[in-house]
A and B are shown apart, each in its own frame.
Chain A
């Protein structure tokens, strides 16, 4: 297992290096950030000063070599527009995105698994058909539209929930999060639901498929014949067997929900990392774009590792040593 983890980490650093190279030169190819930051009425002398101040007067390869040298020392550069170290900027926004992602994933498991199990247990009932039809909507409706509709209905028309933004932040066990205040939860509900909708549908479908596959299997019949109650067979034995694909998907979805909550964060003016990255791309704020993507890559690497380790716990047949080959 140790060898497996070490080999994974070595592969990962290569991926990080390649990614930084691609992004660095990619952003350079899009355009000149100075044209975007500079006050339009600035004269040419001011433009030249700004270019030099941000180190953009050097050849691009030289800028990249400097970036890598600094990055190895743990410094990913300062944001051009905020003049704040980009790592600090991203970490400032991370709690808001994490709480949104965690609540969204929790919602998708808490709602998705029971609904999917029911739909798989009684596949021909009207309720099951409604659930499955609903999941098609969850898949296919674009999230920016759903988000706007949620705001229109629950905030503008009914006035039950606030339309946008993050609520008050509370502290619990030293962790600061808006999950810990009532006002915070009220702000969190709509964006989390919007973000979760796709995943709820995904989990419903996966769970239902797993149920349909497992129920006719011999071990279920055997357990029933042994005299175990229906409830115990389904909630313990079947559930354990259908969890493997769900863990994989939920694991990967945590990653994408954290990294790419861009649409939801923009519509709900949620001050998270997704909003930061989209603003940074519009501004060609290269240090933030590169740092953000490196953090995201790192996160996916860690999540994949955790998922692989979880497999071996859920299914003893899986051996980690074999997976690196």
Chain B
């Protein structure tokens, strides 16, 4: 920010405008990389939208900056029996229009969630099958058809709207008419593709935001975000690109905040087909009749051929963490026994010999080039690492729009591919269920199991964990399931992304594992 000169100050004071500078000190501008598509909190289950909704709405359960559940509109919750939950609601909470928040708003909201027309990705799964009854205006009893230990975490993504607005279409939220929440900010405007504006809710039940007004600018281009924070047009940006790190580090006016994210970048390996489409004989170039990737020793060899340290150091300037599990250490359900495989080309070659490929084979690996930070560079680095171990590798990168369709059901077009997974729940049942469990549409298992790994022992452990209400027992089961899946090389973990924020040195932000940039938690320094 430019310092006003003495004359300007005197002039402003003379004109009675001195207060204008105070106001500007309380205005915050944020530059975000995600494209916010709607203000309707139930329309599109998408990271940037869910983050934006947290400015205006609250949920029964909130997630803190490490994705641990904390009280939100529910002050406390407990299980009465394995299938019954009791949520005690916070008293004295007011909506932005001054009306009281009660259990009726929660019931109405959960009815709205599966109804929203044209939703490209809904929250229906979070509230389906719940039998909700109101014991009194501040007590909810929720019955589930089967034990559902994840219920508080599921409800932590469903924003509560006012009961009288539950039939409002998405357009009423975008226009502001239905934007009546209980959250720390009141909605003042949304220009799709440009910005969202808001003002402080002085009646907020929790810690009040420092800023009288806040503007979130949608800036999908990483260079534009960097320029905006360097020039002081915005006070804080998220998703800082690696290329700008040195410049930001040198600049005295800029501070960085980082945290290891819950997004794992990994290799999915086709383990179902007897003849996988992209493994070839080294001598003849013909497709191999028997897929080498079905052999666990080959998958282990590929994992050991990768120099994870070099990737995180050279490509990410240290801002990525080598991975051996599904989530970073210390998160719920993460086994302390899973460490990243050490880089060892000789061990990889020995394993290949043992598996009957003394001369290796030929492989084509696929991945996106516009989805994850530096995704194409990582793939280009892995190719030669495999080749050095004896698996002659060709790299193909594609736009996400094409890759996402081809790599998943029903096409399953690739043999080995680079993908990422962010665990919204902050615990390991999310990746185990979506990426590693045997594909089973009825159970909702394996929806993103691009390699179609299948291990009945792991499925059984996971199913048991998902029905175990006791937190300690569940965590133990999840750890065990992770160990079974990864010792079998169901997928090959590469690294955890690091979330990077750059801000002017006069503000601070508590870095979050869920990648959200929330104005209420940006503080002056």
Contact = CB atoms under 8 A, between A and B. Distances in A.
Question: Is A bound to B?
Answer: yes
Interface of A: 30-47, 49-50, 53-54, 78, 80-84, 89, 92-93, 148, 151-152, 155-156, 159, 162-166, 266-269, 271, 275-276, 279, 281-284
A31 B224 contact: no
A163 B223 contact: no
In this complex, the member of B194, B406, B448 whose beta carbon has the largest number of chain A beta carbons within 10 angstroms is B194
Interface residues of B, number: 59
Contact of B447 (A47, A155, A156, A275): A47
A152 B119 CA distance: 41
A43 B444 CA distance: 5
Contacts of A33: 120
B408 A35 contact: yes
Given A30-B402, A35-B408, A165 B117 contact: no
Given A36-B401, A37-B44, A155 B192 contact: no
Given A81-B37, A266-B224, A267-B224, A93 B434 contact: no
B98 interface: no
In this complex, the member of A30, A43, A47, A54 whose beta carbon has the largest number of chain B beta carbons within 10 angstroms is A43
Contacts of A151: 223-224, 227, 231
Given A46-B122, A156-B231, 6 more contacts: A31-B404, A38-B120, A50-B120, A83-B43, A271-B193, A282-B370
A36 B46 CA distance: 10
A40 B434 contact: yes
Given A81-B44, A163-B228, A269-B221, A54 B233 contact: no
A269 to B, nearest CB: 4
In this complex, the member of B125, B230, B231 whose beta carbon has the largest number of chain A beta carbons within 10 angstroms is B231
B138 interface: no
A162 B227 CA distance: 10
A279 B220 contact: yes
Interface of B: 2, 35, 37-38, 40, 43-46, 117-122, 124-125, 170-171, 174, 191-195, 217-221, 223-224, 227-228, 230-233, 370, 399-402, 404-406, 408, 421-422, 424-425, 430, 433-434, 441, 444-445, 447-448
Contact of A89 (B2, B192, B421): B192
Given A42-B447, A279-B220, A269 B228 contact: yes
B22 to A, nearest CB: 20
B447 A279 contact: no
A165 B227 CA distance: 11
Contact of A93 (B40, B120, B193, B402): B193
A42 B434 CA distance: 8
Contacts, number: 164
Contacts of A41: 424-425, 430, 433-434, 447-448
A142 to B, nearest CB: 13
A168 to B, nearest CB: 12
A37 B121 contact: yes
A38 B401 contact: no
Contacts of A148: 223, 227
Contacts of B38: 81-83
Contacts of B122: 46, 49-50
B493 to A, nearest CB: 17
In this complex, the member of A45, A82, A92, A282 whose beta carbon has the largest number of chain B beta carbons within 10 angstroms is A82
A288 to B, nearest CB: 11
B404 to A, nearest CB: 4
A32 B221 CA distance: 24
Contacts of B43: 83
A155 B233 contact: yes
Given A53-B118, A54-B120, A39 B228 contact: no
Contacts of B35: 279
Contacts of B406: 31
A45 B119 contact: no
B447 A164 contact: no
Contacts of B441: 43-45
